[in-house]
Amino acid sequence: MTFFAPKSDGNRKAIPVLLTLILSVLSAPAGGTNEIRVGALPAGDKIYTNAIITRMTPAYAVVSYQDGMVQIPMSNMPAAFQAQSGYTPEKAAQFLDQERQTQRKRRAAFLAQQAALQDLAGTNRIVRITDIDDDPSYGGFPFCSVDGLSSGILVENFPDSVRQFMSGYRQLQADIADCQQQLDNLKVPKPPPVPTNSPPRLGKQTWVGGSGGYARIVIPNNDDIAAARQNIEDRLKMLNDRRAQATTNYNLYTTIIAHPSGQTYVGKPIWVCVGIPAAAAAR
């Protein structure tokens, strides 16, 4: 297809429509992202319809189109895209070399991690759990933060006793904070200021005079407030005693005996729990 634009002398000049589309999309990425939408993209000996360029490098472009996704060498891309990516054969070769080096380093690190896991596989260790995350993306394994392993582990056969203890400990912390907040909000009020004129009184309500006139307030019973505070203070003492006891046993009750399985899931090592310390089991 050809688009004819009039020249100033009245003649017409042919401009390829595809080139016009390419130049227009280069100046306006789709949807405020780095994607570039092209109705039809000529590259090499093919034309990719409904094309979306999702990534451009000095060596290649990643293109999604109606039949799937393809990686096109930048040498086959139209000149307008080559200019945008800064393509030259030398830059393309340098980019590919750097990319291969990065991939080799990542693979070497992954293999080293797998080798370390295999070396430890079957070797039981004492592991103290510091946090539990049951995100479904971990495939049903609880993800645990643990002492001595900064990356954390996924634990197979995770014991319910550890989960229940940690849940109870967190609830104790929350209950103590709630009691403290109640005490802060439940203070014995000071007697109201003595008005300069005798105000009218209505039951437990009273009118208190001030610079802005009279205001009606409710005078609470100080004895009732004191009794309520005492009840909360008694509960707070009980909760603090329980927390002190739980803290003493925290390390014991959050410890498991486990070993690396030599496998990973979503990049995280899977450990197999084989039990808990005998003292914790006998509590």
Q: Is residue 217 over pLDDT 90?
A: no
Q: Is residue 11 part of a domain?
A: yes
Q: How many whole angstroms separate alpha carbon 129 and alpha carbon 243?
A: 18
Q: Is residue 107 part of a domain?
A: no
Q: Is residue 58 part of a domain?
A: yes
Phi, psi of 20 (to 5 degrees): -60, -45
DSSP 190: P
Return the bridge partners of 13, or none: 5
More confidently predicted of 188 and 49: 49
pLDDT tens for 99-119 read: 999 999 988 887 777 676 666
pLDDT of residue 12: 39
166 contacts 254 by C-beta, under 8 angstroms: yes
pLDDT of residue 100: 93
Q: Is residue 132 over pLDDT 80?
A: yes
Of the candidates 52, 23, 47, which has an alpha carbon nearest to the alpha carbon of residue 36?
52
pLDDT of residue 57: 93
**Residues with Cβ < 8 Å from 214, sequence gap 6 or more?**
195, 199, 207, 208
More confidently predicted of 10 and 193: 193
**Diameter of the chain by CA atoms?**
103
pLDDT tens for 241-272 read: 999 999 998 999 999 999 998 888 988 999 99
pLDDT of residue 224: 72
What is the average pLDDT value for the chain, to the nearest integer?
78
pLDDT of residue 14: 38
**Residues with Cβ < 8 Å from 128, sequence gap 6 or more?**
146, 147, 251, 254, 255
Q: Is residue 207 part of a domain?
A: no
Instruction: Give the number of C-alpha atoms closer than 13 A to the C-alpha of residue 150, restricted to the C-beta side.
Output: 0
Q: How many whole angstroms separate alpha carbon 261 and alpha carbon 119?
A: 10
Q: How many whole angstroms separate alpha carbon 207 and alpha carbon 191?
A: 13
pLDDT tens for 26-80 read: 434 433 347 889 889 999 889 999 999 999 999 999 999 998 999 999 999 999 9
Total structural domains within the chain: 1
Q: Is residue 103 part of a domain?
A: no
Q: Is residue 78 part of a domain?
A: yes
Q: Is residue 34 part of a domain?
A: yes
pLDDT of residue 186: 77
Q: Is residue 265 part of a domain?
A: no
Confidence of residue 144 (pLDDT cuts 50, 70, 90): very high
Residue 23 domain boundaries: 2-87
Range with the poorest average pLDDT among 14-23, 114-123, 135-144, 169-178:
14-23
pLDDT of residue 202: 43
